[in-house]
Structure 1
Amino acid sequence: MLDACAELLDEVGYEALSTTRIAQRAGVAIGSLYQFFPDKRAISKALTARNAERFVTRVGRRFMVEEFATVWEAIDAIIDEYVDMHRTVPGFRSLHLVDVADLHTLDSVADAAAVVVGRLRALLLADYGVADSEELDRAMLVAAEAADAVLKLAFRRDRQGDAAIIAEAKQIVRDCLDRRLRASA
C-alpha cells in the first residue's frame, strides 16, 4: 500500500491522491486499506516515515563505509543522498522530510531528521573540534531548512535536479555552518 501511495504521489500529486486510488493501485480492497490507514493523510505520513528511515539508513551506511577528510565532504555526502533519493525513490519528491503537514506529530520523521542532524553534530564536535553550543544547534537547523527549500527549488526547475541549484544548496549549508565553525575555533 505504501508503494502504491508513493507511485500515485509522483503521478498525480497529493491533492488528487485518494484512498480509493491507493487501494486500486495496491490491488487490495478499500476496507483492507482502512484497517491500517484511516485516510490519505495517515498513509502519506507512514510513507514519509518510511522515506525518513531510508534516508537515515543510507546516510548512516555511507558514514560507516566512507572516510570524510573534511566536514564539508561529510555534509556534501548527506546532501548527495537526499538528492539521489529525490531521483530514485518513488514518493520521496512529493513528501519531504522537513515539509509535511503536521510534521511535528510524525515522531519517527522528527526522530529521523534528528538522527541525521545528530550524526552531523557529533561529527562536528568529535572529529572537527567544534564547540558545543546553542548557536551551533541553531545554525544546523537553519542550514537544514534552507538546504531543503533550495533543493525543492532544484527539483521544481529540473526533474533530475538542477545541478547549479544543488551546488547553491551545498554552498548555503557551508556558509551557514562556516560562520559557526569559525566562531568556535
Structure 2
Amino acid sequence: MSTIELSTTLLTASAPIRNEPVQARSTARLAALLDSAAAVIDEIGYERLTTAMVADRAGASIGTVYRYFPDRIAVLQSLAARNSERLLARLAGELAAEGHATATDALLGVLDVTVDLVRSEPGYRSLRVGDVLDLLPPSAEETANGVVAGAVADALEQRFALSLDDSGRLAIATAVEVIDALVARAFARDGDGDAALLDEARRVVRATVAGVL
C-alpha cells in the first residue's frame, strides 16, 4: 500500500459513521446520503445544513439518515473524510506522473488537482477536507491538511529520490496550507476561480519551497 493510499485509509477510518455498510445496497444508500449532503452544501453552504435537508434531498426518511449519522456534524465529518479520500486518490496519480520535470512542478500539481475538485465536486469548495471547521475527531493526532502534506512529502521523496529534513517537510506543509487557503479564496466569489489569485498561489508555493525542492 502506498503512502497516499495509507493516508486515505486513515482519514476515511476517522469518519464517524454509526453503522458501517456491509452490503452493496447499504453502501449505495450511504453514498446517496453523502451526495445529497454535498448538493445541499453546494447551494447554501455547510452552516445551514440539517439532517432533515439531507433526508429531503435524498428522498429518504429522517430515520434513514440517523441510521448512519447521529447528527449533522457526523454528516459533515463523513463528507470531509470522503473529500479527503478523493483528493488523496487524485494526488497519488498526479504526483507519480512522468510529466513533472521537478518536485516543485509536481507540488504545483497539488494546486491543479485542488482547483479541479473545487470545480467538479459538489460541496468541496465550501467544506474541502474539513479543516475549515476543525472537523476531525478529538482523538485525531493530525489535521486533514497535515495528513495530506505528509503524504505529498512522502510521494515527492519517492518520485524524485529526495531526502527531506524537518524544514523541507515544514515547507511542503506550508505550501499545502497556502494552496488550501488561496484556492478557497479564489473561488469564494468567482465560480470559475479568480485567475489572479490562482497565479499568486502558484507564485507563493514556488517561493515557499525555493531552496528546499
Equivalent residue, structure 1, for 2:203: 171
Stretches of structure 2 lacking an aligned partner (at least 5 in a row): 1-32
Equivalent residue, structure 1, for 2:54: 22
Equivalent residue, structure 2, for 1:105: 137
Within 2, Cα distance between the matches of 1:4 and 1:149? Answer: 25
Tell me the secondary structure at the aligned position of residue 123 of structure 2: coil
Equivalent residue, structure 2, for 1:159: 191
Select which of 49, 70, 76 maps to 1:38: 70
Equivalent residue, structure 2, for 1:11: 43
Deviations 1:56-78 (A, max 9, x none): 11111233454311122211211
User: For the structure 1 residues 121 and 156, does the alpha-carbon distance in structure 2 shift closer, same or farther, using more than 3 Å as the test?
Assistant: same
Question: Please, what TM-score do these two structures have when normalized by structure 1?
Answer: 0.85
Within 1, Cα distance between the matches of 2:167 and 2:104? Answer: 19
Within 1, Cα distance between the matches of 2:37 and 2:144? Answer: 22
More helix by share: 1
Equivalent residue, structure 1, for 2:104: 72
Equivalent residue, structure 1, for 2:113: 81
Within 2, Cα distance between the matches of 1:127 and 1:48? Answer: 28
Check whether the contact 2:34–2:75 (CA below 8 A) recurs between aligned residues: yes
User: For the structure 1 residues 178 and 85, does the alpha-carbon distance in structure 2 shift closer, same or farther, using more than 3 Å as the test?
Assistant: same
Q: How many residues align?
A: 180
Equivalent residue, structure 1, for 2:176: 144
Check whether the contact 1:18–1:40 (CA below 8 A) recurs between aligned residues: yes
Within 2, Cα distance between the matches of 1:34 and 1:66? Answer: 45
Deviations 1:30-56 (A, max 9, x none): 011001111111111111111111111
Stretches of structure 1 lacking an aligned partner (at least 5 in a row): none
Check whether the contact 1:56–1:112 (CA below 8 A) recurs between aligned residues: no
Check whether the contact 1:98–1:145 (CA below 8 A) recurs between aligned residues: no
Check whether the contact 1:37–1:43 (CA below 8 A) recurs between aligned residues: yes
Within 2, Cα distance between the matches of 1:64 and 1:146? Answer: 22
Deviations 1:77-135 (A, max 9, x none): 1110100000010111111226332344285x946852x43343235445546543211
